Structure 1
Amino acid sequence: MSYVPYSVYQPLTKNEVTLLRKKQFEKWEHYFLNPIQIGQKHTEFTEVRDVILQSWNRSKEYQDLNPMIEGSVKNISDEELKEIRKKNEVFHLAEPVLKQAGQELSDENHVLLFCDSDGIIIDNYGNHSVSRNIGNSVNANNGAQWSERWAGTNAIGTSIILKQPIQIFSSEHFSYNCHEWVCSSAPILDPLTNELLGVINLSTTANSFHYLSMMKTIGLVNQIERILFHNYYQVREMMQNIYIEAISKWKNQIVILCNSKGKILKINNDTQINEITSLMSVTVENNECTTKKEWEDEVTLHGSQYRAIHKKIFWYDRFIGFISILEKKSRLSHSTTIHNHFAKYSFQSLIGNSEEFKRTIHLAQVAASSDSNVLITGDSGTGKELVANAIHQASNRFDHPFIALNCAAIPKDLLPSELFGYVAGAFTGANPKGSIGKFELANKGTLFLDELGDMPLELQVQLLRVIQEQEIIRIGDKIRTPIDVRVIAATNKNLVEEIQMGKFRKDLYYRLNVIQIELPSLRRRSEDIPLLAEYFVQKLSVKKHHGPHHITAEAMGILKNYSWPGNIRELENVVEYAVNFSANGIITPESLPMHFHNQQTLPINSVSINPVKQAELDWIIQALKRSQMNVTDAAKELKMSRSTLYRKLKKMGYDMKSLK
């Protein structure tokens, strides 16, 4: 069975086209004006392709169709078309390919049609004159339905039936009015399920027919299907990340990932899989019409009551699935595990490829392999707590608690009780049952003391004793409780300077500073900014259950040239702002906070210098911009002395006063 006419596998002259059309019209006229029983093969129709004859037979079965119809006899309303176009994900993904093809065809005598799986024309591209002609002559307008049911034999409708590419030449069409046209169609199939998603159609007048039209149509479909495959890979990756995040957060509950139909894609507990499968189907049926993105209900499994939390997942504003968490009611009031204080991040959570960052991570991995105390230093927002999490996660204490305490966030009067705990009646307002301190909670595990430089001197003495002796005494108690705790401390202060000023104890510093890890500021690892920005974009897509979002090259350029005084924390906040203010998921310069639009540029030097010196000057100026004109930081990044930096600038016609 051939889906392309035998006689058009090679270029035809105008006379050959005319003769072919005449011959085919005779067959069409004889078939439709001299009725034959459907399915009967007459010798006079042996030259009609089987695929066409079968379609003619199908078209004849529709009582309200006749060969003299204009073309399509069914149109949907403008409102219906607008809604279908809005919800058609394939159309939005294919649009760049369609527009490019339309520009290429604008000077050719062809029109390109994109149709959905029902044969409805969503949009048209190409030569405007041809578009008007085919619209007026056979109703190939946006919103017209070109399935065989409403137009008889035609490339779009027959391709839908066959799920194969097909070319309909002139009088092979069911409709007499369509005999002026040659149409080539190919179905767009789901790369994973082979489901029909839409149809691409390329039409031209018979006199302008080109034998490569079919190949062009198939080529466009191949491009679109490659985009779909890449898109589906992103969808599956996003859903996988949502599932991983959920099972990490809800360690003791049943976590289920489903597609939009309620089919279970992943589950962390399959002991009651049959009951849960039925439950998910009912969940979809009960909530398929709801506009809520998150809802709760109560369910029964194996005679036990569960609270069910359901969260929808969206992709290009399309509902693609949901995550469900089933929490047993008896677990709501108390924990059934020894502890719930797990490290949230691993070394895989730390993003960066810069050499300085790699050296830092290597040092942290060495720290993870030992049991020594660690001191993490660096500016605020550089990710000190993430590194502490990763060290614990990779250590032999990973299965025990990871407890974090911000020393600057607790009033100094309450800090001892937070660290060491207290017994009943230890002080006015205390819990009558007493309280366990962070050291006891972290037993066998890791205690992370953030902002250690803000700890009062008098408490530093007690902390030193606990670290040395590995035992604590609760406030108001006399009993010594042995503990086994590894301490990881962090600060954004220079503790050596703090010691010189009498604000920090030297003995505590040396007790904690067994392994020191200094985290570089973001401006010292600017090559990691694109990686981090893209990571935060993907993280937000997972968090919001809505994607995708993309950063344009212009917006990324602005991010790379910003100085980032707030470091990675500031970058994450800026990306979240940009995601919220992005248009159709595209982050442009306009999506960024206002102060990014007001960045001042450095003055331009009028001194003529050679290209090599100009490149060196640009290198220096970019480092100054990233360091907010801090010469010491810029010189450190450039691996040169301050005096060398000043000398180079002066030689090239700059001075720091004019730059500032």
Structure 2
Amino acid sequence: MTGQLLAGGARELRVTEARRQFFEEGACPEGELPAEVLRSWLRCRDSGVDYQADGRGDPEGRSGLVAARERSELLLSNASGVMEHVFEQIRASGSMVILADDQGMILHSLGDPDFVNRAQRVALQPGALWSESLRGTNAIGTTLVEAAPVEVIGAEHFLDRNGILTCSAAPVFSPTGEVAGVLDISGDSRSNQRHTLGLVRLAAQLLEKRLFEIQYAREIVVAIHARPECIGGLQEGLLAVSPEGRVVGANSIARGLLKSLPAGLEAVDFSAVSRLAFGSFIDRCTRDPYALQALDLRCGERVFARLRGAPPLIGMAARGNRPAAESPARVQEAAPKPCNRRTGEITLECLATGDPRLQLALDRAARITGKDIPLLIQGESGVGKELFARAFHFSGPRSDGPFVALNCAAIPENLIESELFGYVGGAFTGARREGSVGKIQQAHGGTLFLDEIGDMPLGMQARLLRVLQERCVTPVGGQRQIPVDISLVCATHRMLRDAVRAGSFREDLYYRVNGLTVTVPPLRDRTDIRSIVANILEAELAGTPREGQVSIGGQVLDFFERYPWPGNVRQLQNVIRVAAALLDDDETEILPVHLPEELFGADPMDDAESGQGLLQDAGQPPRSMAAVMPTAQPAPLMAAGGARSLDEIELEAIAVVMREVGGNVSAAARRLGISRNTLYRKIGRMS
């Protein structure tokens, strides 16, 4: 911690000197700033940006927010869940998560209230435009120019008034390769965290993957990478291929791996990319759906590939030479769909892990698959209602059709109408010329999942009821009714009967969506927590070098069974993800020391062992090296030989901690709050 403060102080002095040279002397302080920051400063100076400006000159402001959100509706709707997940990781850190469009306008933000109030003073709020040309060097605007992740800390901002911020941003690329927007984490410049840029880059990659899978939901998706362990992770390249074997889409990672794809793509034949014909590739995948296939590329490289989310019947169109005697039924029986928790392609049977209350819900839902009966799923936030809905979809005859989800609570009220029903070109100011297909139409032939339907505005409830009655949808601004064939699944954490009595939910819609109601029990009431933990850990490590090598200690499992889990399965997933990330290279068992500290802020149950005690028993690290100094009991600062140096005190503290942990460097590093590499260097000074 002290080292970080010293490093931060040195950086601040260096940047202050660079500003003096740049703004007062007109010099170019090369080597004093990150290269992308210096390039941005030069651009800002050349374009006449005033570094002393107040930054309030916003040409659009909140007046352009509605139109901007309409233009980026797909980005906004899919980013909401990702942003919530990121915010859970940084909650109470005095930060906020921001989504901006391709022009730098902030579309949506989540943040700690105290910091949000301060951020509004520098216009860090929805509706504000943060392009580099308007606000100088900043993470959002500079990321758009650089088309690469950027971190801007304190005085590295071009405008003086923005020096209070530290911002880390990453571009979000569309499925066609253009920058669609920016994800950003901003906070107080005094609390900069070195891992923030990595977190926002991972979040941007996750969002890009979602956008790609939505755009090419009806195509055959092939995952590729030069390293087999990267298949299934965020680093995998994705190719969208038509049933005829034409490459119609590729994410940025795939383009980097293949090198030969043209910018516009324009339906390149698979054989122009790979030396193996597409039909032969499909045949190999059908014979062994779980195996990675080696592909020799035309550019001379070799990659590994796996078919993603494509039923064997789709592949038959690409093969075109399968004997007529081999029926579609036989092909499907040869390769049944596996349970894939990472992609959501699971069945109701996959969710059966032994809990009797959940099993009752699964059995009841299974009885109505394939029947025109709406399903209503009730349960607290985070219990896995969407996972249940996906399992219901993939268990029925519509499993080859689309599964389209919309969170009614996450979409702004003024956007939900166009999100659900779509709109025709020119329907309103800012609408796209070609119009937009709504979620209901997208779900044609498959399943429409409306999450948190209890939060749907009353006006939208009336329109939805009409769609369910007439089986037709009319886009906003349109006149023609479009027939739709959908299976409806809804979910809510509210009691809809109470909402009906209160007048906030239509009674006639309630009986339309409530064909069969099932309840997913909260995690604290379930008896199958150990099975859930095993499934989550397996999914988290799938496709990584640690797959099948990590277990969870009995003490941790006992604690998991006692903990009340206010965040339910979603919280448990986050805890296991963090614990797996905290494992050192030589560790294969998750122990209490690997669990997030906030899990033990209070006794989880009145009659349970305190979480803090569990941490202490396991040797959980204190928050800083200063916390171990009383334990180390160093000699007085003044001794017979005179004053002792800070280095001597530090080394003595290290020696005491090393003795306490029996020489285990990993445990000692955690106790001291420093990395193992740093500890090794300090130990070297002791020898």
Structures share fold, TM-score greater than 0.5:
no
Q: Name the larger-Rg structure.
A: 1
| TM-score, normalisation: structure 1 | 0.42
| TM-score, normalisation: structure 2 | 0.41
